């Protein structure tokens, strides 16, 4: 019989499957026989393997030094007793005026040895919303600017009220995190500014492939407006480093990689270890966090944090994975012991199983 979906019988086409081994399900197959001898060792092996792995992951996580500062409710330096959140929320004038300076003193109880990273954290911010995730124009991000061909996914953040196209368009770019954070180490000499590196914080694959600048960036942007919520244009995001500007600005690239959960942190800066005072990381002692507070979060009951953290072989601080391994390992061991006791107490031997007949009782 021909091996095809259509079988010809007496010159009449039939829908009957062909007689091949595959279509008639005659291929050899292996079906495991689950017995106490195979299942019980699996439980014990998984339990014995998972618990040490979980302990190791937990130790790696606990070796990470981390300090978290929630600065959502910090008070204004210029207007003592008034929260910056209220000043920014109530100020409905220009974007430049929506800036409030605040300062928080904090103490590191131990040295942060090694590479130290600064993150900003946001809570209750749903970057995973479907319309938010789609609200971008990938052609723009690749430097292919067009005044007429702007993606409809960017609406209503594709054009200004006077009809000028926006670059970069979309809700993601429009909501770019724009607080400025800096740290000062208060040592015996009166204070040293902690040097922060603003490049090398984005994924290399993003900067090299997904985000490109057009030729002559400033000239190309003359017919485009910056996003409505921005206080500066795309080509002036970093006035100090021209290579960290435009669509290849790393703060923009980090923000455009949307978070999967409503509570997230994103890499903001790295401590520059080339400075002699900070070659080994951050020393324990007193520090001051200075904030140019611009980003409003109180309208959606969000919170803002600054996080200082070191890393381990498995990355940042995350005890969940280690705890999960330990819990699964313990559950497997407990189930293995329970099933072993049941097997020893109620199992039938081979002879009893062979001599089963219709009159054999079920017990």
pLDDT value for 314: 85
pLDDT value for 248: 94
Strand partners, 68: 307
For residue 163, which of 225, 217, 93 has the smallest C-alpha distance? 225
* Tens digits of residue pLDDT in 96-115: 557 899 999 999 999 999 99
- Percent of the chain's residues with pLDDT above 70: 91
- Percent of the chain's residues with pLDDT above 90: 62
267: phi then psi, degrees, rounded to nearest 5: -65, 130
pLDDT value for 2: 46
For residue 351, the 8-state DSSP code is H
pLDDT value for 31: 79
Query: By the 8 A CB rule, do 157 and 169 touch?
Result: yes
* Tens digits of residue pLDDT in 104-154: 999 999 999 999 999 999 999 999 999 999 999 999 999 999 888 888 899
**Per-residue confidence band for 189, with pLDDT thresholds at 50, 70 and 90:** confident
Q: Looking at residues 22-47, what average pLDDT do you find?
A: 86
Query: What is the average pLDDT value for the chain, to the nearest integer?
Result: 88
For residue 161, the 8-state DSSP code is T
Please, which contacts does 33-40 make with residues 24 or more away whose CB atoms are closer than 8 Å? 36/339, 36/340, 36/343, 36/347, 39/339, 40/336, 40/339, 40/340, 40/343
Q: Looking at residues 307-315, what average pLDDT do you find?
A: 91
Cα(67)–Cα(268) distance, rounded to whole angstroms? 15
171: phi then psi, degrees, rounded to nearest 5: -70, -30
Residue 63 exposure: Cα atoms within 13 Å on the Cβ side: 14
Q: Looking at residues 161-182, what average pLDDT do you find?
A: 93
Cα(4)–Cα(26) distance, rounded to whole angstroms? 16
The secondary structure element, H or E, covering residue 341 is: helix 319-346
Q: What is the pairing mode between strands 192-193 and 100-108?
A: unpaired
Using CB atoms within 10 A of its CB, is residue 61 exposed (0-12), middle (13-18) or buried (19+)? buried
pLDDT value for 1: 45
| Plot region of 190 (φ>0 → left; ψ -120 to 50 → alpha; else → beta) | left
Cα(91)–Cα(3) distance, rounded to whole angstroms? 75
* Higher per-residue confidence, 359 vs 353: 359
**Per-residue confidence band for 329, with pLDDT thresholds at 50, 70 and 90:** very high
**Domain coordinates in residue numbering, the chain:** 36-64+318-343, 68-310
**Per-residue confidence band for 19, with pLDDT thresholds at 50, 70 and 90:** confident
pLDDT value for 239: 87
Which pTM does this prediction carry?
A: 0.81
Q: Looking at residues 259-266, what average pLDDT do you find?
A: 96
* Tens digits of residue pLDDT in 59-83: 999 999 999 999 999 999 988 889 9
Cα(310)–Cα(320) distance, rounded to whole angstroms? 17
The pair of three-digit structure tokens given for residue 213, joined into one six-digit string:
């600048």
Cα(295)–Cα(285) distance, rounded to whole angstroms? 29
């Amino acid at each position: 019989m021909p091996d095809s979906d259509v079988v010809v019988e007496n010159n009449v086409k039939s829908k009957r499957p062909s007689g091949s081994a595959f279509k008639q399900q005659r291929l050899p197959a292996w079906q495991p026989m689950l017995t106490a001898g195979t299942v019980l060792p699996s439980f014990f092996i998984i339990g014995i393997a998972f618990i040490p792995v979980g302990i190791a992951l937990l130790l790696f996580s606990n070796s990470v030094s981390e300090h978290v500062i929630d600065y959502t409710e910090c008070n204004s330096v210029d207007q003592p007793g008034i929260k910056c959140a209220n000043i920014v929320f109530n100020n409905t004038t220009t974007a430049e005026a929506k800036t409030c300076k605040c300062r928080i003193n904090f103490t590191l109880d131990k040295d942060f040895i090694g590479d130290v990273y600064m993150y900003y954290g946001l809570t209750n911010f749903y970057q995973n919303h479907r319309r938010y995730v789609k609200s971008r124009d990938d052609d723009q991000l690749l430097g292919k600017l067009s005044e007429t061909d702007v993606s409809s996914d960017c609406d209503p953040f594709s054009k200004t009220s006077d009809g000028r196209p926006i670059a970069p368009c979309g809700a993601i770019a429009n909501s770019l995190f724009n607080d400025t954070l800096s740290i000062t180490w208060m040592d015996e000499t009166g204070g040293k500014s902690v040097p922060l590196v603003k490049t090398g914080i984005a994924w290399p694959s993003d900067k090299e492939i997904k985000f490109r600048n057009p030729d002559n960036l400033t000239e190309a942007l003359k017919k485009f407006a910056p996003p409505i919520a921005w206080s500066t244009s795309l080509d002036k995001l970093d006035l100090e480093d021209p290579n960290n500007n435009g669509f290849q600005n790393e703060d923009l690239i980090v923000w455009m990689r949307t978070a999967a959960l409503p509570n997230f942190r994103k890499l903001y800066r790295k401590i520059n270890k080339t400075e002699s005072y900070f070659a080994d990381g951050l020393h324990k002692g007193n520090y001051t966090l200075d904030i140019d507070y611009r980003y409003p979060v109180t309208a959606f009951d969000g919170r803002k944090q600054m996080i200082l953290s070191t890393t381990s072989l498995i990355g940042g601080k995350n005890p969940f994975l280690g705890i999960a391994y330990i819990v699964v390992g313990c559950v497997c061991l407990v189930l293995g012991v329970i099933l072993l006791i049941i097997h020893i107490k109620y199992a039938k031997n081979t002879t009893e199983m062979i001599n089963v007949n219709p009159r054999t009782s079920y017990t």
